[in-house]
Amino acid sequence: MGILHELHKHGQSVWQDYIERGQTRGGELQNLVDLGLRGVTSNPSIFEKAIGGSAAYDEQIRSVLEAEPDIDVHALFESLAVEDIREAADVLRSVFDGSGGADGYVSLEVSPHLAHDTAGTVAAAQRLWQAVDRPNLMIKVPATAEGIPAIETLIAAGININATLMFSLRHYEAVAGAFLRGVERCAAPQSIASVASLFVSRVDTLLDQKLETIGSAAALALRGRCAIANIRVIYRRFRELFDGAEFAPLRARGVRVQRPLWGSTGTKNPAYSDVLYVDELVGPDTVNTLPPATLKAYLAHGRVCDCLTGQVDEARAVLQQLAALDIDLDATCEQLQREGVKSFADAYDQLIAALQRKRETLGR
């Protein structure tokens, strides 16, 4: 049994944080599914690299431009993305069917420029849901203040949601609340699948900078430990919410829990293990989405242990030590969410610019 299958026995599903049609058409994605991969996520940065950095999409771009010479460049991108998502969803359909709809999902994000537009997010998500037309699609919605009511509305409408760009316990509780309210309003809540995507390594990256600025022995001893501690505290809250009395009536009706998903799990600091944010974050009812390099490393030398349960007291102690150094974790996480929205918006704009250049070249 391979390590991804072993992980699944421990209750964690591994998804790949990457999509590119060469993988779906060349058989690489199917090979990963055979190894135990159970889903795929995408974001504007990933599409920017895939579409802007290769000629793999040129044939479809020419075809679309021949049929619709005046097509808006944003609509052109959406046509490319929808085809990629459909193809990946079809590869993963066997996982979806075999798991009874628990896994086998492919995520597609609404435009990051809608992160602070509730109505615009809802409209875009509904349009993408209909365009892709696959039951194993998840629409990614940022967990901004404006995104929270959109998440609730979309779940109530029966649309699978990947709530993304979460960093803090406060973000998590807001998203979990939106999920619970949404499934209460949903006509067929048993069909809903949702994940709450919490970013990990970016937390350590920013906090490590703050700790190194302080420079004391106590500060330096916390480097590389805070992001995992943050996740362990959030995971405990997940268990309280979904194992408790509030969710019990929904569970009895066959409603699935909204699983926490660990994102941004590629190690940024070369001094840390390249599988740090995989090895240390294994637990039941979770998903870890790995970029290709991290997935390759984990397949080569990862380990499996239930590392999320039973260590919450130690995690809270780490966060208390952080607070004692006058580092505000909530403020740090708010900064990271703002920067994340901007980063994805910048990547989207770069993608649109690259696609406009391709349009000008290929549409002649």
**DSSP characters over 302-349:** ------STT-HHHHHHHHHHHHHTT--HHHHHHHHHHHHHHHHHHHHH
Question: Radius of gyration over alpha carbons of the chain, in Å?
Answer: 20
Which of 49, 140, 296, 358 is the catalytic position? 140
**CB burial of residue 177 (10 Å; 0-12, 13-18, 19+):** middle
**Other beta carbons less than 10 A from residue 268's beta carbon:** 12
For 52, phi then psi, to 5°, come to: -75, -25
9 is catalytic: no
Phi-psi region of 104 (alpha: psi -120 to 50; beta: other; left: phi over 0): left
**CB burial of residue 304 (10 Å; 0-12, 13-18, 19+):** middle
Number of H helices, E strands in the chain: 18, 8
**What is the Cα–Cα distance from 116 to 147, expressed in whole angstroms?**
7
Give me the active site residues, please: 140
